[in-house]
Structure 1
Amino acid sequence: MVIRSTTIPWATHPAVRLVLALVLGIVSWFYWGEALPELLPWLAAGTALYLGANWWATRAGAPSAHDAVGLLGLGVVVLAGTTVAQQATESRRPEHLYHQGPVEFYRAVVDDYTVVRPNTYATTLRVSAVRVAGQWRPALGGVRVSVPRYEAGAQEPHYGQVWLVRGAPAPAKAPLNPGEFDYRRYLSYHQIYHQQFVHPDQYRVVALRPPNWLRYYSMQAAKELEGVFRRYVTAKREFAIANALVLGLKDEVDRDTKQAYANTGTTHIMAVSGLQVGLLFGVLQLVLGRFFGNTRGFRVWSAGVGLLVIWAYAFLTGLSASVLRAAVMFTFVAAARAAGRQSNMYNTLAVAAFCLLLYDPYLLVDVGFQLSFLAVLSIVYLQPRIAHWVDAQEWAARRIRPWQPRWQQKLLGGTGWALDAVWQAVALSLAAQVATFPLGLFYFHQFPLSFLLSNLVAVPLSSLALYVGLGLQAVALLAEGAVQLTGLQALLWLPRGLGWVFEKLIWLFNEYIVWVGEAMPGALVTGIHLTPPQTWLLYLLIALLLAFAAWRRMVWLGAAAVVLLGFSGSRVQADRRIAADKRLVIYSIPRRSALGLHDGASALILTPDSLPLNHTEQTYRVLPGLTERGNRQVRYVAGWPPQLAVRHLGPGGPVLLSWHGLRVAYVSQRLWKGQQPVPVDVVVLRRNARVWPEQLLATFGPRALVVFDSSCRAWYVARLLPQLQGLGMRAHDVTTQGAVVQQVTTGLRHQRVALSN
């Protein structure tokens, strides 16, 4: 009887051990970094201790000593990960904006692409100096700025511009509503801790000094290539997708198109990343191998040509973070293949991740980084195994007989080849989904069941479109150059024809994606909320099932059953907690009044001003909290619905809402003299209601929480808030402090305000 080993072959994957240790150290910084001292001396001491212990173990020659030294080395790598993350955190440094006094002016350089929004330009400034109390001093820090597009003198910012800005940037705002996207944390992961709305008369461009001239020229090249598409791709939607597909410029892709791609699991098509870089590298290696595979030194020089092409492509697409990450990954893959080590792809990918994380440890919390490496790892491990389930070519070969006509034999052979190509694509898509779907549920709260159908056609068509688009760029530049030399306008018919083909290819795969979304409207599962522990449990379950499939030992299946039971228990417990939870939410939505009544899994979202919330307000302000809480039955209502216990206290007077024992008064206009006292829990002031603090105290009692909703102006809040506090009343401004949540549990009312501040 043959007994299969269940041990994991760590000895053949040293880089995997190192990158896991580094990741553990970086994660430790994210959770406990603020309490840690300066770690550089500790890292130096740990490194010295490891070197000394390794020297002693080598001389002693004891296997147990080597094991202990190996564990010590991994501990030093963990410490290195924490130290690198600490050193990469700019806000710790004394010259950071956080530690400056009141800033009068600051000098900064535009250090990012400019995002063109409907009403503003958005970009990032890197500060180099600030003026405080009339004196200039060195400083650093990132500021996310927005510039109004339609004010007099407004111009689009460009990378490398040096700005002199009047005024002080404000710390980035925390999320104001339950479950809302934490933009402040997202910015901090990019070393940006401040925001500012800058009017054209607040800044002046004083110089052009790009932080990185290579990136500056790369971005200029991307703009030139965008101009080629603008000249030869006439349809607006197809032009926007061409920019996104080939150049990674997604500013002009409309919201409906983005949503269609998200609903079908094909968003990756519109991002220049590992897909495009991998297609270029793979096709180039295939072509070179076809024609020059037998030449001397082919493995080395073909890898060099491949690296030259992918880095040239990275340069021409603006050296964006996603394409740089993909280029680095394929650089290590190509180097490993050239060295004859392509069999151990796990070590190669681990080395690439290790180097990237040493360069920027905050990449670990980048969604693109996580999805890219997990997808590649899953494809490397699972795709060959899934592809092995079906052998279409062998199936076709078994049906070929010597007496069959030649055309029939070729037809069967071609059918087998075509079916095999389709199955390989299916295996690739399935393998990528296995490792990425938990992250998709965690970050995006949805899963497109149509991903297989949409990717099976859209990916090959978009890949062909990518090659045609790159060919269009080359042909257009050559043809336009020839026209300038010869004056023969007829030469432009070639790029025009190629542009027509390119546009139709984009139209074809875009229409296919739209058709899949319309033909399978129920295929998008939405409203899924996973907590971080639940996401980890899903990954642990996947790992245990893969271990069982690899080693066929029941211990792995038993462990998977235990993990599945724990995951299911956590979901049941969350549902039980939601079923017993009742809460009232006063939302923070600019210039709007919005109220949420959450009763178990159902929710009623009201707008007392009788104007319904628009799509953007629902999607970004309200929906995240509903998904996080597990609300499955949601209704949006404009005005006060008749089924609620609502009482109007006189014409134009307050509106009194009673809900599960909570009493809420909405005051929109004024309180009349002689108004009878009505004790309530919450008083909501709307539209700068004409009231006096003494009136509020006398009418609603001293225990009421006075809430300024988002329809109140800043000057109104600034005038009334101190007066209310002077009378001993509690007051809250949802515009600056966040939404108000009133929870009702077992007859007791619990108040929670300023959720995220």
Structure 2
Amino acid sequence: MVISWAPNAFIRLVLPLMAGILTYLYAGAVLPEVGWVVVILFLGFLAVQLWAARQATPGATDAAGLLAVLMLYVAGVALTQQATESRSANHLYRFGSRIEYYRAVVDEYPVVRPATYATTVRVQAVRVAGRWQPARGGVRVSIPREAGLAAPQYGDVWVVRGAPAPSKAPLNPGEFDYRRYLQYHQVYHQQFIHPDQFLRVAYEPPSMLRAVAMRAARVLDGVFRQYVHAKREYALASALVLGIKDEVDQETRQAYANTGTTHIMAVSGLQVGLLFGAVTWLLARLPGRRGPLFRLFTALLGLSVIWSYAFVTGLSASVLRAAVMFTFIIVGRATSRQTSMYNLLAVAAFFLLCYDPYLLCDVGFQLSFLAVLSIVYLQPRIVGWLQPKAYFLNKQRPWQPKMVQKGWHWLGVFLQYVWAATALSLAAQVATFPLGLYYFHQFPLSFLFSNLVAVPISSGAVYVGLGLLVLKGLVAGVGLISPNLAAFLDYGPRAVAGLFEKMIWVFNEYIFGVGRLMPSALISGIHVTTPQVWLIGGVILTLLLFFALRKLPWLALACALLGVFAGSRVWAAHELAPTEELVVYSIPRRSVVGFWQGASAHIVTLDSLPLTETERTYRIVPGSIQRDARRVVYHPGWEACPVPAVVAEPGLTLAAWRGRRLAFVSGPLSGATAPVPGLAAVVLRRNARIRPQELAATFGTTAPVVFDSSCKSWYVLRQDSLLRAAGFRTHDVTLAGAFIVQGRQ
């Protein structure tokens, strides 16, 4: 476990670089430009290094090393500053709502949604006060899916009317911070664009290579669409081999998430590793496997296969990350200068972070490197716990029949493989466990059963799927010369496609079967904070150090960290227990209010229609997880809800909860209701036709007026100015997020 620094030099380089990136992410707003500091430190490092080379004292070398570490730390800050587009003088932020038009290029393939296409455009210029000027910045846009309206294509240049709006902060408690996610990808604005609001004026891909790669991926996707007839199997085939998940339905996505096999559907390290393993296996069976020429041939072939696959999958970010990682492994092996996998991983991480420091915030980057590190270190040690092959080989006896001896041999080989696969899954889970809890709020106990069968089947399916694409390519080539012969040879791709479809079907049925047989194996609704993730990681690391070094202080430290973690959970529960919250949620076109007391809640939909699964999952459940909710009850309307509510008149409902009273107004007030002072809030629903004077006469002007999500934007804009002029405080949940009234028992 103790690191030997000589063969792992890049670990010492990547750690301060990562520390500098983290420093900017947490304190970047207050930091000045530090690029010049990097130059000074670099010159100082060269001077001290030259001086140290002439000295025989270790202190001189140590000083040079410390300067190098400090330089890389500051370089991490400087690189992140440079990569942050919002710091530019001509960023979209500088123009605000003054933008009349902007010119932008589509920078990624669109995400297909039921009613819209979503993609990212990179702004090239804006028109302000009738004059065009250069600008930069990313905008996440959505356009409707309508007949006659073509889907956005990478490289399309648009002229868009109107100014994009800054990305919204999370609108409900605990909701995923999509704004921060976009900012990590240098996208700070969002806009829904109507068909008459934009015009395609040119085709200028930012990268012609990527444009061709994306087109190649779509052509290959067409092969799967042609030969794989079942809709679900086609969707999985395209996701598994090409990483195109447009057709994968929500039920399938959820089934894979519940069984811990989502990573199989994401083209990344698994598929690239399979290709790398296949090339290595084939080359190992060639004669004369020695000498520098063979190593060079091996490296070139491996790089060609990996980068060709990256190309035909559209050069997606996850595949590129995996390709870079394996590139350094291949080059390291070919040169015979580096045998440490830890250093090779550090080299890959170092160059990837120099290219894009924000990769450090990417979930895929974090999980990939942690999983590989854990597998490299732990998997051989876990495999060493059991030796099934040796055990069953010892069962062989000279007097036993040959069939019996072969049976013992093959049983040992099979169980050795099963145990090695189990060890790999366990090793990968050890390091990724804290991040899995943090990002996905769940832990599938069935991951061993799922991956033990799903990974081999899916691996075989990847090979067969790639074989189908190669075979179809050969047939298509023959078709250029002889269409009749190509039509006859097409039986080959059809046969392979039939096998491929069956493998996908078996793979998918197994995943769904595990979910049905083990419905309680998913522990969900887990919430851990960032400090708690670090504490869990610290416990795991100190336990590994204890098992490696056999020194009790490490075990004591692990127990102490575990105690701090448990104490933080108890303290959070203690602080939450007496809290009370009244929440008017921000859910598009809905009127929803939540009554929270500690870890339990009653959620009422005022329009008497139950929330959809999507609305619950993305709007309500994150806040429930954050509060470690034990009991959340949904009520369509006030019926069966324990919160007292009275319909005072057709357009007015009064509710009382824990000493707080609310008024829900959905229509004009008749004036028959007596004045109702002392309200926590007045909630306007469904564009209630109400005048400020009527509200003031009935409720006074002390209580804030809340526009819920059922109110149209034009209505809010008109009423807000009138109410403010009359002395009311207003809150629009669509723009400002959920309205929350907090209290304690």
Instruction: Work out which of the residue numbers 458, 461, 464 in structure 2 matches 1:465.
Output: 461
Instruction: Work out which of the residue numbers 206, 210, 225 in structure 1 matches 2:205.
Output: 210
Matches within 5 A, 1:400-411: 400-411=396-407
Q: Secondary structure at the match of 2:141?
A: strand
Offset, 1:254: 0.5
Mapped partners of 1:17, 1:641: distance in 2: 63
Task: Specify every segment of 5 or more residues in structure 1 that has no aligned partner in the other structure, as ranges.
Answer: 1-5, 747-757
Q: Which 4+ residue blocks in structure 1 deviate beyond 3 angstroms?
A: 6-12
Alignment-derived partner of residue 372 in structure 2: 376
Q: Is the 8 A contact 1:604 1:635 kept in 2?
A: yes
Alignment-derived partner of residue 363 in structure 1: 359
Alignment-derived partner of residue 60 in structure 2: 65
Is 2:476 the partner of 1:476? Answer: no
Q: Secondary structure at the match of 2:285?
A: helix
Q: Secondary structure at the match of 1:396?
A: helix
Offset, 1:653: 4.3
Instruction: Work out which of the residue numbers 115, 124, 130 in structure 1 matches 2:126.
Output: 130
Mapped partners of 2:285, 2:338: distance in 1: 19
Q: Secondary structure at the match of 2:632?
A: strand
Q: Secondary structure at the match of 1:9?
A: coil
Alignment-derived partner of residue 629 in structure 1: 627
Alignment-derived partner of residue 45 in structure 1: 40
Offset, 1:725: 1.5
Alignment-derived partner of residue 700 in structure 1: 699
Measured against aligned partners, the alpha-carbon deviations of 1:296-343 in whole angstroms (never above 9, x if no partner) come to 433332122111100011001100000000000000001111122453
Measured against aligned partners, the alpha-carbon deviations of 1:344-391 in whole angstroms (never above 9, x if no partner) come to 110110010000000000000000000000000000000000000111
Alignment-derived partner of residue 307 in structure 1: 303
Alignment-derived partner of residue 577 in structure 1: 575
Measured against aligned partners, the alpha-carbon deviations of 1:378-425 in whole angstroms (never above 9, x if no partner) come to 000000000001111110111111111111111101111010010000
Matches within 5 A, 1:9-408: 9-100=4-95, 102-150=98-146, 153-292=148-287, 294-296=289-291, 297-341=293-337, 343-408=339-404
Change (3 A) 1:716 1:512: same
Alignment-derived partner of residue 410 in structure 2: 414
Is 2:594 the partner of 1:596? Answer: yes
Mapped partners of 1:25, 1:531: distance in 2: 22
Offset, 1:702: 2.7
Q: Is the 8 A contact 1:646 1:655 kept in 2?
A: no
Residue type matched to 1:246 in 2? V
Q: Secondary structure at the match of 1:605?
A: strand
Mapped partners of 1:688, 1:596: distance in 2: 21
Mapped partners of 2:192, 2:342: distance in 1: 46
Offset, 1:672: 2.0
**Which sits farther off after the overlay, 634-643 or 551-560?**
634-643
Alignment-derived partner of residue 556 in structure 1: 554
Q: Is the 8 A contact 2:638 2:645 kept in 1?
A: no
Q: Secondary structure at the match of 1:206?
A: strand
**Which sits farther off after the overlay, 691-700 or 380-389?**
691-700
Residue type matched to 2:369 in 1? F
Q: Is the 8 A contact 2:48 2:63 kept in 1?
A: no
Offset, 1:291: 2.1
Q: Is the 8 A contact 2:585 2:593 kept in 1?
A: yes
Q: Secondary structure at the match of 2:457?
A: helix
Offset, 1:739: 0.2
Change (3 A) 1:534 1:654: same
Mapped partners of 2:569, 2:708: distance in 1: 34
Q: Secondary structure at the match of 2:119?
A: strand
Residue type matched to 1:563 in 2? L
Q: Is the 8 A contact 1:649 1:656 kept in 2?
A: yes
Mapped partners of 1:707, 1:286: distance in 2: 66
Residue type matched to 1:128 in 2? Q
Q: Secondary structure at the match of 1:131?
A: strand
Alignment-derived partner of residue 726 in structure 1: 725
Alignment-derived partner of residue 454 in structure 1: 450
Is 2:622 the partner of 1:612? Answer: no
Q: Is the 8 A contact 1:174 1:184 kept in 2?
A: yes
Measured against aligned partners, the alpha-carbon deviations of 1:58-80 in whole angstroms (never above 9, x if no partner) come to 32332123223312211110000
Measured against aligned partners, the alpha-carbon deviations of 1:648-692 in whole angstroms (never above 9, x if no partner) come to 253314222111111111112222225311111111111122222
Q: Is the 8 A contact 1:472 1:495 kept in 2?
A: yes
Residue type matched to 1:279 in 2? L
Mapped partners of 1:396, 1:642: distance in 2: 64
Residue type matched to 1:255 in 2? Q
Q: Is the 8 A contact 1:483 1:491 kept in 2?
A: no
Q: Secondary structure at the match of 1:112?
A: coil
Mapped partners of 2:342, 2:327: distance in 1: 14
Q: Secondary structure at the match of 2:140?
A: strand
Offset, 1:250: 0.5
Q: Is the 8 A contact 1:585 1:595 kept in 2?
A: yes
Q: Is the 8 A contact 2:602 2:641 kept in 1?
A: no
**Which sits farther off after the overlay, 666-675 or 465-474?**
666-675
Residue type matched to 2:58 in 1? P
Offset, 1:295: 4.8
Residue type matched to 1:203 in 2? F
Mapped partners of 1:625, 1:666: distance in 2: 23
Measured against aligned partners, the alpha-carbon deviations of 1:130-174 in whole angstroms (never above 9, x if no partner) come to 111111111111111111111x64111111111122221111111
**Which sits farther off after the overlay, 558-567 or 341-350?**
341-350
Mapped partners of 2:200, 2:184: distance in 1: 28
Alignment-derived partner of residue 738 in structure 2: 739
Offset, 1:478: 1.3
Q: TM-score, normalised on structure 2?
A: 0.97
Alignment-derived partner of residue 508 in structure 2: 510
Change (3 A) 1:426 1:258: same
Offset, 1:516: 0.2
Alignment-derived partner of residue 674 in structure 2: 676
Cα RMSD after superposing both structures: 1.4
Residue type matched to 2:503 in 1? L
Change (3 A) 1:130 1:283: same
Mapped partners of 2:507, 2:427: distance in 1: 23
**Which sits farther off after the overlay, 447-456 or 482-491?**
482-491
Percentage identity across paired residues of the two chains: 58
Mapped partners of 2:63, 2:669: distance in 1: 77
Q: Is the 8 A contact 2:123 2:135 kept in 1?
A: yes
Measured against aligned partners, the alpha-carbon deviations of 1:42-99 in whole angstroms (never above 9, x if no partner) come to 1111211222222223323321232233122111100000000000001101111111
**Which sits farther off after the overlay, 454-463 or 35-44?**
35-44
Alignment-derived partner of residue 535 in structure 1: 533
Offset, 1:263: 0.5
Q: Secondary structure at the match of 2:644?
A: strand
Alignment-derived partner of residue 639 in structure 1: 637
Q: Is the 8 A contact 2:680 2:741 kept in 1?
A: no
Q: TM-score, normalised on structure 1?
A: 0.96
Change (3 A) 1:565 1:712: same
Q: Is the 8 A contact 2:581 2:742 kept in 1?
A: yes
Measured against aligned partners, the alpha-carbon deviations of 1:454-481 in whole angstroms (never above 9, x if no partner) come to 0000000000000000000111121233
Matches within 5 A, 1:650-661: 650-661=648-659
Offset, 1:490: 2.1
Residue type matched to 1:535 in 2? V
Offset, 1:178: 0.7
